[in-house]
């Protein structure tokens, strides 16, 4: 089996070529610890089998982003891959020097390379003509012109790779002449025995110096090399710069020699960008595109969500009818099935959002949004790329957190994911609606025409955003120090989106969510169910509801009502005596300063499943809802009970809403944070910081309000 | 020192063909810029400046990239074709 890697700058058609080469054998996996897809596949060539690896697109092997680190790690065998027999470097001829820069770096690792000059069709259209033979002679390695999208040149590429596998010396590149500082560095590093043992030729110094070049603080081999370099009086940053300049100094005249450009009218991309990046027109277009995206996620997924909800209730009713009453049935229905349904309801929004994002990415517009929004996001210390994830979080925090994957810098991505839960998602709205209806519905309009409820709602949205900006500011100065990753982004040419590609991306995200995040959601749902179910507690036989049933005549309407009441009384009794119920009572002293009684305490614990669950949980706490005919009546009943039994005043209502605006009352968000950060550390951090903040703000509202004489 | 020559890319005029003189080393950002091909002699042109000191849109060699003015401050340029002795 021959091992072959595909490397290349982003957007050179690497994946297109990979698909051409591997066909249906492609397999998508993950690199350990990071959420970057790892694509591998096989190709049968003669009686040989090739194992192909598609590396993430990268401009350089000296890493400054996770993608680049992966490319370097794979090529140097740090993920345990066998040494590569050949590396196909996919090259965009329109940017020959920058692409060949990467090819040189790969060759310096001592790996045989083949240059695949892709997109020759686009190059011709752009007025570029290329002396392929001259390029081959200048470089030394095979150079294969191709049009990967049409499959042109695949056979020639195959032959070139086969020849390099047979004789690796054919894949060598006539090396750059290095300036003296590099020679001195190499000599210094070679005094280290470990370096001598690692590889030979140029690879030796590259491997040796790279950790230093990459990051001076990195432990291991780098330390020794650093000392050796310091002993030899070599400045690391000078060395690093000298290496880059030397490669370009070698490439520039070469590229000049083999290319001719004939002038062309401005390309489509240039013409579109005059409009799309214009301060006024471009901003308007941006708002329109984002508006449509948001509307799609927020509203257009609704029918599908309702359908899934309906389906889930039908399924659990059906399964319930098959099983005998008992604990098994309860855990299946209220734990596992509820968790599965709780996972599935996110599918429509995730699908729509990722459809949108991958369309924007595929057309090249997503990179433009970074240019357009950077100035505003910079004020918040966030990169432009965090705009779309945060916007989507207003619909739902779960897809919002997932969308942060488009952010390359790990620190920026982390900050974005940690503040995403502060965006007011649609699950908070039912809570706000019930509370506002219960205590603010009859308030006087402000200034005679603004409804107080509407103002409060607006204020809650703003509160989330303001707190998010402050948190981002603080996180940037503490946990994730340093500026947000500098904006340095290539604007790819606009391209027609490829349906297959877009659907593949959506499907991969969905599958990942269903399998990985779904299992965490189900597990958390079962835990929550257990908290509300155990220990088991029987309603005392002398309870009025019990008595009412036994004293009414069977088969009468009065008996039916009494039985329904008894059911509710049982549920309420069970909930009150469960672990969650006891927790609600235990925390009462802690939440009393916020104006909440133990009933609301139980609601806070129960609504951990999802914020909107507060309403049904409260219904259960109050044993209300037996009489409610529809959802509206139920909501009103819950609102009344909040006022009657929990003493909810406008001030308490406000305190409760502020708590919900900030607190992490959503285990699906916790689950998705756990999956996306591949650790429990960050979701726990998020819960702690958000709930502490929520507590403090509610405390300030309630105590401050009281001090000012409000109730 | 080379720093004194030419103008800083952040302040250079729009739509004028320019040529890179030097890029000072102020961290990972400038390393990345040089690896992108912002090397002495490379052609650059400013295509757009976003309002309120927003990012710049720049044609470097034959591709377009965007970066913030603070990064562009590390780059010294002069009008293309001028003698590099300035
Ligand atoms: N004109 C032309 N376009 C091509 C060719 N090959 C690929 N493309 C297009 O180039 C774009 C990028 O292709 P990908 O295969 O996703 O590029 P990539 O290098 O894998 O990109 P990254 O995933 O960012 O590394 C797509 O829109 C392709 O349709 C080609 O030979 N000619």
Domain membership of residue A214 (yes or no) is no
Task: List Cα–Cα distances, A247 to A10, A98, A99, A177, A647, in angstroms.
Answer: 20, 10, 11, 8, 74
Query: Which residues, given as ranges, of chain A have pLDDT below 50?
Result: 201-204, 207-208, 211-221
Cα nearest neighbour of A368 on chain B: B66
* Three-class SS of A348-406: HHHHHHHHHHHHHHHHCHHHHHHHHHHHHHHHCCCCHHHHHHHHHHCCCHHHHHHHHHH
Query: Quick one: A418 and A519 in the same domain?
Result: no
Domain membership of residue B30 (yes or no) is yes
pLDDT one-digit tens code per residue, A424-457: 887 888 888 888 888 887 777 777 677 788 888 8
Identify the three-state secondary structure at position A642: helix
Which residues sit opposite A37 in a β-bridge?
A30
Interface confidence, given as ipTM, is 0.92
Query: Quick one: A99 and A147 in the same domain?
Result: yes
Q: Residues 491-530, chain A: which have Cβ within 8 Å of B?
A: 491
Query: Quick one: A465 and A526 in the same domain?
Result: no
A607 neighbors A668 (Cβ within 8 angstroms): no
pLDDT at A217: 37
- Enclosing H/E stretch for A132: helix A132-139
pLDDT at A203: 47
B46 token code pair:
């400013």
Domain membership of residue B84 (yes or no) is no
User: Which of A155, A171, A187 is a domain's end point?
Assistant: A171
Q: Is the pTM of this model over 0.90?
A: no
Q: Which residues of A482-516 are buried (b: 16+ CB within 10 A; e: fewer)?
A: ebbbbbbbbbbbbeebeeebbebbbeebbebbbeb
Domain membership of residue A37 (yes or no) is yes
Query: Quick one: A366 and A301 in the same domain?
Result: yes
Domain membership of residue B1 (yes or no) is no
Domain membership of residue B21 (yes or no) is yes
Domain membership of residue B51 (yes or no) is yes
CA dihedral A368, A255, B20, A244 (to 10 degrees): 90
Taking the C-alpha atoms of residue B17 and residue B44, their distance in angstroms, rounded to an integer, is: 6
pLDDT at A357: 82
Q: Which residue has the tokens 């029918």?
A: A303
C-alpha A151 – ligand 1 centre gap (Å): 12
Domain membership of residue A590 (yes or no) is yes
Residue A44's domain spans which residues? 2-171
Which residues sit opposite A51 in a β-bridge?
A3, A42
Burial class (CB in 10 A: 0-12, 13-18, 19+), A450: exposed
- CB neighbourhood size of A127 (10 A): 14
Give chain B's end-to-end CA distance (angstroms, integer): 12
pLDDT at A159: 95
Closest C-alpha to A76, from A248, A184, A204: A204
CATH number at residue B34: 2.30.30.90
Taking the C-alpha atoms of residue A460 and residue A658, their distance in angstroms, rounded to an integer, is: 7
CB contact under 8 A, A101 and B54: no
Q: Which residue has the tokens 């399924």?
A: A315
Query: Quick one: A520 and A411 in the same domain?
Result: no
Domain membership of residue A36 (yes or no) is yes
Domain membership of residue A403 (yes or no) is yes
- CB neighbourhood size of A470 (10 A): 14
Q: Which residues of A546-570 are buried (b: 16+ CB within 10 A; e: fewer)?
A: bebbeebeeeeeebeebbebbebbb
Query: Quick one: A362 and A478 in the same domain?
Result: yes
Identify the three-state secondary structure at position A542: coil
pLDDT at A216: 38
User: Which of A151, A171, A191 is a domain's end point?
Assistant: A171
pLDDT at A192: 67
The two beta strands, A27-30 and A37-45, are: antiparallel
A109 neighbors A206 (Cβ within 8 angstroms): yes
Number of domains in chain B: 1
A356 token code pair:
């949108």
pLDDT at A211: 46
Give chain A's end-to-end CA distance (angstroms, integer): 77
Site from B54, B69, B72 to mutate, A interface, most A CB atoms within 10 angstroms: B54
Q: Is A364 in the pocket of ligand 1 (CB under 6 A)?
A: no
pLDDT at A194: 60
Chain centre distance of CA A706? 42
Taking the C-alpha atoms of residue A545 and residue B74, their distance in angstroms, rounded to an integer, is: 79
Domain membership of residue A101 (yes or no) is yes
Backbone angles phi, psi at B56, to 5 degrees: -100, 150
Taking the C-alpha atoms of residue A459 and residue A465, their distance in angstroms, rounded to an integer, is: 10
What sign does the CA torsion over A340, A341, A346, A349 have?
positive
Q: What does DSSP assign to residue A59?
A: S
Q: Is A13 in the pocket of ligand 1 (CB under 6 A)?
A: yes
Those residues with Cβ within 8 angstroms of residue A8's Cβ, 6 or more apart along the chain or in another chain: A14, A55, A57, A58, A89, A90, A91, A92, A99, A102, A116
Which residues sit opposite A88 in a β-bridge?
A6, A114
Those residues with Cβ within 8 angstroms of residue A529's Cβ, 6 or more apart along the chain or in another chain: A330, A331, A334, A335, A338
Backbone angles phi, psi at A326, to 5 degrees: 155, 180
Taking the C-alpha atoms of residue A296 and residue A388, their distance in angstroms, rounded to an integer, is: 13
A68 token code pair:
């680049």
Chain centre distance of CA A553? 60
Closest C-alpha to A72, from A172, A210, A197, A204: A210
User: Which of A148, A171, A194 is a domain's end point?
Assistant: A171
Taking the C-alpha atoms of residue A506 and residue A356, their distance in angstroms, rounded to an integer, is: 9
Cα nearest neighbour of B42 on chain A: A252
Domain membership of residue A258 (yes or no) is no
Backbone angles phi, psi at A113, to 5 degrees: -120, 155
Cα nearest neighbour of A490 on chain B: B65
B20 touching chain A per CB within 8 A: no
Contacts of A60 in chain B (CB under 8 A): 32, 35
Number of domains in chain A: 3
**Cis check: omega of the bond before A569, within 30 degrees of 0:** no
Query: Quick one: A29 and A137 in the same domain?
Result: yes
Q: Which residue has the tokens 């500098």?
A: A486
pLDDT at A436: 86
- CB neighbourhood size of A629 (10 A): 7
Backbone angles phi, psi at A266, to 5 degrees: -50, 140
Domain membership of residue B48 (yes or no) is yes
Q: How many CB pairs under 8 A join A and B?
A: 100
CA distance B1 to chain A (A): 16
CB contact under 8 A, A488 and B65: yes
Task: Name the residue of A9, A11, A128 whose CB sits within 8 Å of the most ligand 1 atoms, as the mutation to test its pocket.
Answer: A11
List alpha helices for B1-86, DSSP H.
28-35, 69-72
Cα nearest neighbour of B24 on chain A: A241
Contacts of A240 in chain B (CB under 8 A): 31
The two beta strands, A2-8 and B18-23, are: unpaired
Domain membership of residue B66 (yes or no) is yes
C-alpha A29 – ligand 1 centre gap (Å): 21
Taking the C-alpha atoms of residue B59 and residue B75, their distance in angstroms, rounded to an integer, is: 14
Residue B57's domain spans which residues? 7-79
A374 touching chain B per CB within 8 A: yes
């Amino acid at each position: 089996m021959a091992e072959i890697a595909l490397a290349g700058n982003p957007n050179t058609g690497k994946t297109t070529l990979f698909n051409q080469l591997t066909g249906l054998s492609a397999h998508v996996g993950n690199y350990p610890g990071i959420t970057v897809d790892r694509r591998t596949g096989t190709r049968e060539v003669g009686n040989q089998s090739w194992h192909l690896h598609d590396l993430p697109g990268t401009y350089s092997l000296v890493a400054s982003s996770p993608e680049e680190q992966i490319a370097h790690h794979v090529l140097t065998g740090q993920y345990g891959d066998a040494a590569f027999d050949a590396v196909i470097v996919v090259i965009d001829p329109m940017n020959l020097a920058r692409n060949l820069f990467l090819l040189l770096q790969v060759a310096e690792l001592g790996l045989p390379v083949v240059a695949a000059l892709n997109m020759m069709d686009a190059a011709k259209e752009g007025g570029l003509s290329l002396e392929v033979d001259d390029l081959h002679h200048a470089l030394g390695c095979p150079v294969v012109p191709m049009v990967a999208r049409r499959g042109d040149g695949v056979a020639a590429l195959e032959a070139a790779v086969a020849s390099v596998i047979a004789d690796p010396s054919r894949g060598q590149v006539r090396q750059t002449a290095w300036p003296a500082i590099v020679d001195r560095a190499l000599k210094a590093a070679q005094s280290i025995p470990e370096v001598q043992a690692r590889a030979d030729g140029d690879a030796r110094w590259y491997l040796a110096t790279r950790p230093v070049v990459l990051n001076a603080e990195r432990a291991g081999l780098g330390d020794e090399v650093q000392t050796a370099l310091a002993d030899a009086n070599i400045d690391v940053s000078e060395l690093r710069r000298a290496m880059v300049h030397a490669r370009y100094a070698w490439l520039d005249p070469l590229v000049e020699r083999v290319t001719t450009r004939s002038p062309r009218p401005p390309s489509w991309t240039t013409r579109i960008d005059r409009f799309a990046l214009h301060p006024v027109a471009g901003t308007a277009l941006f708002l329109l595109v984002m508006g449509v995206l948001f509307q799609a996620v927020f509203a257009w997924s609704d029918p599908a969500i309702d359908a899934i909800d309906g389906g889930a209730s039908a399924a659990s009713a059906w399964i319930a009818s098959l099983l005998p009453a008992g604990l098994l049935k309860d855990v299946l229905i209220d734990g596992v099935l509820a968790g599965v349904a709780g996972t599935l309801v996110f599918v429509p929004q995730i699908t729509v959002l990722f459809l949108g994002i991958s369309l924007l990415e595929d057309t090249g517009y997503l990179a433009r949004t970074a240019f357009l929004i950077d100035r505003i996001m910079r004020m918040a210390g966030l990169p432009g790329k965090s705009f779309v994830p945060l916007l989507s979080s207003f619909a739902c925090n779960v897809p919002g957190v997932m969308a942060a994957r488009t952010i390359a810098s790990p620190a920026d991505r982390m900050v974005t994911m940690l503040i995403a839960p502060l965006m007011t998602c649609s699950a908070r709205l039912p809570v706000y609606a019930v509370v506002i209806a219960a205590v603010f519905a009859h308030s006087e309009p402000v200034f005679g025409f603004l409804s107080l409820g509407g103002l409060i709602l607006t204020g809650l949205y703003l509160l989330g955003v303001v707190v998010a900006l402050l948190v981002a500011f603080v996180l940037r100065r503490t946990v994730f120090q340093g500026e947000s990753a500098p904006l340095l982004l290539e604007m790819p040419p606009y391209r027609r989106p490829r349906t297959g590609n877009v659907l593949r991306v959506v499907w991969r995200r969905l599958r990942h969510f269903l399998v990985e995040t779904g299992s965490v959601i189900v597990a958390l749902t079962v835990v929550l169910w257990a908290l509300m179910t155990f220990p088991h507690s029987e309603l005392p036989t002398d309870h009025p509801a019990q008595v009412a049933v036994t004293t009414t005549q069977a088969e009468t309407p009065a008996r039916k009502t009494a039985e329904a009441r008894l059911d509710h009384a049982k549920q309420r009794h069970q909930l009150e005596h469960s672990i969650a119920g006891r927790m609600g009572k235990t925390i009462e002293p802690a939440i009393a300063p916020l104006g909440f009684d133990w009933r609301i305490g139980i609601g806070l614990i129960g609504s951990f499943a999802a914020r909107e669950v507060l309403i049904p949980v409260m219904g259960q706490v109050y044993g209300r809802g037996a009489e409610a005919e529809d959802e509206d009546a139920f909501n009103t009943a819950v609102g009344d009970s909040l006022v009657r039994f929990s003493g909810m005043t406008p001030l308490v209502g406000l305190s409760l809403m502020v708590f919900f605006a900030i607190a992490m009352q959503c285990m699906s968000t916790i689950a998705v944070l756990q999956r996306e950060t591949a650790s429990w550390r960050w979701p726990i951090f998020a819960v702690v910081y958000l709930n502490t903040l929520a507590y403090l703000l509610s405390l300030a509202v309630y105590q401050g309000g009281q001090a000012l004489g409000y109730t | 020192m080379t720093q004194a020559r030419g103008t800083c890319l952040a302040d250079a005029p729009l739509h004028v063909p320019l040529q890179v003189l030097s890029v000072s080393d102020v961290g990972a950002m400038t390393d990345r810029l040089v690896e992108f091909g912002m090397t002495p002699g490379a052609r650059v042109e400013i295509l757009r400046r976003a309002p309120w000191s927003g990012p710049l849109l720049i044609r470097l060699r034959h591709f377009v990239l965007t970066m913030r003015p603070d990064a562009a401050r590390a780059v010294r340029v002069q009008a293309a074709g001028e003698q590099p002795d300035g």
